[in-house]
Amino acid sequence: MFKQFKKQLAILIILVLLVMFFAFAAPGFFTFNNFISLIRQISILGVVSTGMSLVLVSGGLDLSVGSQISLIGIICAALIVNGAVNPFLACIIGLVCIMLIGFINSTIIITANIWPMIATIAMMQVLQGIAYIISGGLPIYGLPEYMKWIGQGYVWVIPVPVIIMAVIMLIGSFLLNKTYFGRYLYAVGSNAEAARLSGVNITIIRTAVYIICSLLTGIGGLIMMGRVASGQPKAGANFEMDVLTACVVGGVGLNGGVGTMSGVVIGVFIMGVLSNGLGVMGVGEYYQLVCKGVVLILAVGFDGIQQKHANKKPHRVSPGNSQLKQEA
């Protein structure tokens, strides 16, 4: 408990230091307007990271979230523009399609017993391909004005996507901390077999968490569609890496069973401050990419070193043994 708290404190301090750094180094960073624009920028990241963190806690991984974002935008835009479907209905259809993809992901992972990483990388390519096929590789323009509201609108001074992000993060936190579903996620991520032998239906839990992740990713995709005011076949390209980095920076473990919603919030903000601050400073996108990669390595490396250190204590289980048991 305490360790978890200490870790969160550490990343919170990193966030504060980053903010202080940019406040000095980038004039125009520490302003109200820029703050609003920063939280608007991170809203999609925040929504999708909430879903991803649930999957990670359960011991899974979904790398197809980027393609899911591209696909839902294309599906909805095509339905609205080319099919003249009611926009509201189109969004519902889009979300259902994306949830179906979450279901397919989990089914493949569970029944064929494939590594989540491999299964969802394959799915990423499939979905990206479908997005290109539907759109012919070109953006779909011509969305009605009011569809932009979800991505660009404001309620008073607060951007709509930020409100959506806040609501979803609160729900995510509630789900993870207060419900038995959340507790099952930690249990399944910590040791699926032991959870199963405690009477937990791990198939349902693992299926549900991928579907929830896809639903949130779909919502993120709709915000993206509103923001760019079109269906872009590459809208979510590489987005999965940002999401993964935000989660890992926020202290969500890649081996399952570890992670908190508050950590994810901090992780998302760190990512947002980094890219916004570098942007304000005038650092180019190529350099930002390098920067994000380095952050991911640092976050994972920090976690790894800590685990290695903890393993030296004698009361820990030897990792060699658990590996042996799993293989045998």
Partner 1 sequence: MEQITLSIQHITKTYPGVVALDDVSIDFRKGEVHALVGENGAGKSTLIKIIAGAIECDSGALYVDNVHQKDISPYHMRQLGIEVIYQEFNLVPALSVAENIYLGSFLGNGVVVDMASMEQRAGELLRAMEVDISPDSRVADLSVAYMQMVEIAKAIAKNAKILIMDEPTAPLTTHEVEVLYKIIEKLKAQGVTIIYISHRLNEIYDVTDRLTVLRDGKKIVTKETADTTRDELIRLMVQRETSNTYPGRNLEMGKPVLEVEKLCGNGVEDISFVLHEREVLGFSGLIGAGRTEMARILFGADPMESGTLKIDGIPVKITSPEVAVKYGIGLVPEDRKQQGVLLRLSVKENIVLPILKRISRGMVVNTGKESQIIEGQRDALRIKTPSFQQKVMNLSGGNQQKVALSKWLVSNCKVLIFDEPTRGIDVGAKQEIYELINRLAAEGCAIILISSEMEEMLGMADRIIVLSEGQMMGTVEKEDFSQEKILKLASGYKN
Identified binder of partner 1 from the candidate list 107, 196, 215, 300, rule CB under 8 A: 196
Q: Residue-wise over 135-148: b if at least 16 C-beta within 10 A, else e?
A: beeebbeebeeebb
308 binds partner 1 (CB under 8 A): no
Question: Residue 4, Cα to own-chain centre: how many angstroms?
Answer: 21
- What is the smallest separation between the CB atom of 169 and partner 1, expressed in angstroms? 18
- Among 257, 263, 277, 279, which residue interacts with partner 1 (rule: CB under 8 A)? 257
Q: How far is CA 22 from CA 13, 249, 279, in A?
A: 14, 19, 10
Of 250, 195, 201, 301, the residue nearest 52 (C-alpha): 250
Both structure tokens of 151: 């991505």
324 binds partner 1 (CB under 8 A): yes
Q: What is d(CA 158, CA 79) in angstroms, rounded to the nearest whole number?
A: 30
Binding of partner 1 by 311 (CB under 8 A): no
* Binding-site string for partner 1 from residue 260 to residue 299, where x marks contact by CB under 8 A and - marks none: ----------------------------------------
| Residue 6 binds partner 1, judged by CB under 8 A | no
Tell the smallest beta-carbon distance from residue 170 to partner 1 (Å): 14
Q: What's the rounded Cα separation, in Å, for the pair 21 and 4?
A: 26
Q: In degrees to the nearest 10, what's the CA dihedral of 32, 8, 10, 271?
A: -50
| String marking each residue 152-191 x if it binds partner 1 according to CB under 8 A | --------------------------xxxx-xx-xx--xx
Per CB under 8 A, the segment of 29-37, 65-73, 138-146, 192-200 that binds partner 1 is: 192-200
Number of residues forming the site for partner 1 (CB under 8 A) = 37
DSSP 208-245: HHHHHHHHHHHHHHHHHHHHHTSB-TTTTTTHHHHHHH
- What amino acid occupies position 280? V
Residue 258 interacts with partner 1 (CB under 8 A)? yes
Name the minimum Å distance from CB 259 to partner 1. Answer: 11
Instruction: Supply the minimum distance, in Å, between the C-beta of residue 75 and partner 1.
Output: 30
Token representation of residue 66: 């980027």
Least Cα distance to 54 among 240, 214, 198 occurs for 214
Q: Could you say whether residue 111 binds partner 1 (CB under 8 A)?
A: no
- Which strand (E) or helix (H) includes residue 154? strand 154-155
328 binds partner 1 (CB under 8 A): yes
One residue of 31, 86, 201, 238 binding partner 1 per CB under 8 A: 201
Closest CB 181 distance from partner 1, rounded Å: 6
- Tokens 């790894």 correspond to 304
Query: Residue 158 in 3-state DSSP?
Result: strand
Choosing from 114, 194, 289, 290, the residue that interacts with partner 1 (CB under 8 A) is: 194
| Least distance CB 121 / partner 1 (angstroms) | 24
- Does position 209 bind partner 1 by CB under 8 A? no
Residue 315 near partner 1 by CB under 8 A: yes
Tell me 26's DSSP state.
S
Q: Which residues contact partner 1 by CB under 8 A?
A: 1, 178-181, 183-184, 186-187, 190-191, 193-201, 257-258, 313-318, 320-328
